[in-house]
Amino acid sequence: MTRQEKIVSMFNDIAPTYDRANRVLSMGVDTIWRKKACTKAFGYCGDNALSIVDVACGTGDMMGYWKRIAEESKIQIDEIIGIDPSEGMVGVGREKFPSLSFYIAPATALPRENGSADIISISYGIRNVMERQAAFLEFNRVLKMGGLVVILEFMKNETPSVLGKIRDWYMNNVLPRIGGLISNNYEAYRYLPDSIEGFLSVGNMSQELEEAGFEMLYVKSFSMDISTLMIARKK
């Protein structure tokens, strides 16, 4: 089994408790980050009906926010598609959002036509994609010219502040224990801080996006630099 297959299997295992663990571990703050991402991205869009593809959609949380914020802002949505390689996560998502469309596929092989999407989002999932540059090139293929890629992620902080060090302590010592208790899978929640430590800085991620044909529009970190929002446009 490849590392990518192991990650998908891990998410299949924790799918039934994933939403509950997320709310507890983030103390609900992740909902604020998601709302900010949707609102900021819509600010870069025109008046045409939008096609949105949420990659590594998991149980569909981000899809729900795209739909809700669009309705509140009176933005017309043509479609919201969720794509994820984990059948377990998608199964939960289909129960939560029966009116939305979900597909099983990896980030490197999206079942969408060239130039068909206005926005591609990926929330806390790009660090789980082993072939990241291939995924960025795939995002570029599927996006229309001028389309947006919207990324929310736990980024590696190379020069942490005092608050950043508190964050790292929480991630390394508290999060795995609580997540393990809720999911009965300590290894899965030990993976989270380990994957962040081995991940990219904001600067390196920006460079990878630019190499894949995007220009950076917006970068902002929230809540003691726990979460970072990046928005880039297809050139």
Q: How far apart are CA 153 and CA 126, in angstroms?
A: 7
What pLDDT is stored for residue 201 in this prediction? 83
User: In the chain, at which residue ranges do the beta strands (DSSP E only) sit?
Assistant: 50-55, 77-84, 101-104, 117-123, 143-153, 214-222, 227-234
60: tokens are 């569909």
Give me the sign of the Cα torsion angle 104, 108, 114, 119.
positive
**Which pLDDT tens digit goes with each residue over 69-115?**
999 999 999 999 999 999 999 999 999 999 999 999 999 999 999 99
The average confidence (pLDDT) of the chain is 89
- 79: Cα separation from own chain's centroid: 18
What pLDDT is stored for residue 157 in this prediction? 66
Question: By C-alpha distance, which of 27, 117, 10 is closest to 66?
Answer: 117
**Which pLDDT tens digit goes with each residue over 195-210?**
766 677 888 999 999 9
Least confident of 6-10, 28-32, 161-165, 214-218: 161-165
Instruction: Find the largest Cα–Cα distance for the chain.
Output: 46
Helix (H) or strand (E) segment spanning residue 63: helix 61-72
Q: Does this model's pTM top 0.85? A: yes
The 50-55 sheet, strands edge to edge: 101-104, 77-84, 50-55, 117-123, 143-153, 227-234, 214-222
Q: How far apart are CA 98 and CA 102, in angstroms?
A: 9
Q: Reply yes or no on domain 28-156+200-234 having CATH 3.40.50.150.
A: yes
**Cβ neighbours, 10 Å, residue 191:** 19
71 to 29, 59, 65, 151, 216: CA distances (angstroms)? 22, 20, 10, 21, 27
